[in-house]
Amino acid sequence: MLAVIDNQYQIDLSKPIDISISLTNTDENPIAWYIEKPVIEPVVFGDWIGKVSEGKSSTNFNNIFFNPHGHGTHTECLGHITNDFYSINQSLKKFFFTAKLITIEPEKIGEDLIITKEQISSLVNTETEALIIRTLPNLKDKKSRKYSNTNPPYLSEEAAAFICESEIQHLLIDLPSVDREHDEGKLLAHKAFWNVKDTHNLNSDARLNATITEMIYVSDEIEDGDYILNLQIVSFENDASPSKPLLFKIYNKND
């Protein structure tokens, strides 16, 4: 099924490339920020259990307990770091974007692995609306990794500022955070990307509609280059939502 985006880009809607990580209640679920794995379990009312296989219910009727930031692919707005409430559901109103996928091996700087401005600026076409960063090594255990207290790679403040200055609205990355795990609450990359100067008194030029999507997984079979991104979220009135970013190859309209 072919579709034309903005009367310019032709994509095949029948061939989405899913770069999200599914959420499960098993040890295969990735975890960050010192929490336990998600809980998915049937509702129980007395001796009634909301599970067909238990023989007392005609439907499966589960409660789900999870944290968007720590349990898998999620998209967040600047409400993640501000004193005042901002919702991802109100911040993200468009869902298709031009996107560029790049692959970077973070540089070893001291005890940290850091994605630098120089690495990004050498690969990025600043006309794109969304930037997707795949980090090396690209091991499949990213889909189940336990990140707490491992000091994962992160973006430098200068790299995040470059993305902001390039007017790239949406950043997607296969790490649990764009910032250092233990950073004394500075959140330098988050603030630079959203152009937030004071989290308690938001500046008028802060980027209210920009988003960060973390904990994606981009398999090696997906080539670097230009795509159309469909960024899907749940309609949560919360600073973040679990999300399902899909990539679509771009075809010439004359093909």
Beta bridge partners of 60: none
**pLDDT at residue 222 in the model:** 98
pLDDT in tens, 139-192: 999 999 999 999 999 999 999 999 999 999 999 999 999 999 999 999 999 999
Is the residue at 78 inside a domain?
yes
Is the residue at 35 inside a domain?
no
Tally of structural domains, the chain: 1
Is the residue at 156 inside a domain?
yes
> Domain span at residue 114?
2-23+68-248
Query: By percentage, how much of the chain surpasses pLDDT 90?
Result: 92
pLDDT band, residue 39 (cuts 50/70/90): very high
**pLDDT at residue 3 in the model:** 75
Is the residue at 107 inside a domain?
yes
Is the residue at 173 inside a domain?
yes
Is the residue at 149 inside a domain?
yes
pTM: 0.96
Is the residue at 48 inside a domain?
no
Mean pLDDT taken over the chain: 95
Q: Does residue 89 sit in helix, strand or coil?
A: helix
CATH number at residue 113: 3.50.30.50
Q: How far apart are CA 97 and CA 235, in angstroms?
A: 19
Whether 214 has a pLDDT exceeding 90, the answer reads: yes
Q: Which residues, other chains included, contact 227 with Cβ-Cβ below 8 Å and sequence gap of 6+?
A: 17, 98, 99, 100, 101, 132, 247, 248, 249, 250
Is the residue at 117 inside a domain?
yes
Q: How far apart are CA 121 and CA 129, in angstroms?
A: 15
pLDDT in tens, 41-59: 999 999 999 999 998 899 9
Q: Is 61 exposed, middle or buried (0-12, 13-18, 19+ CB in 10 A)?
A: middle
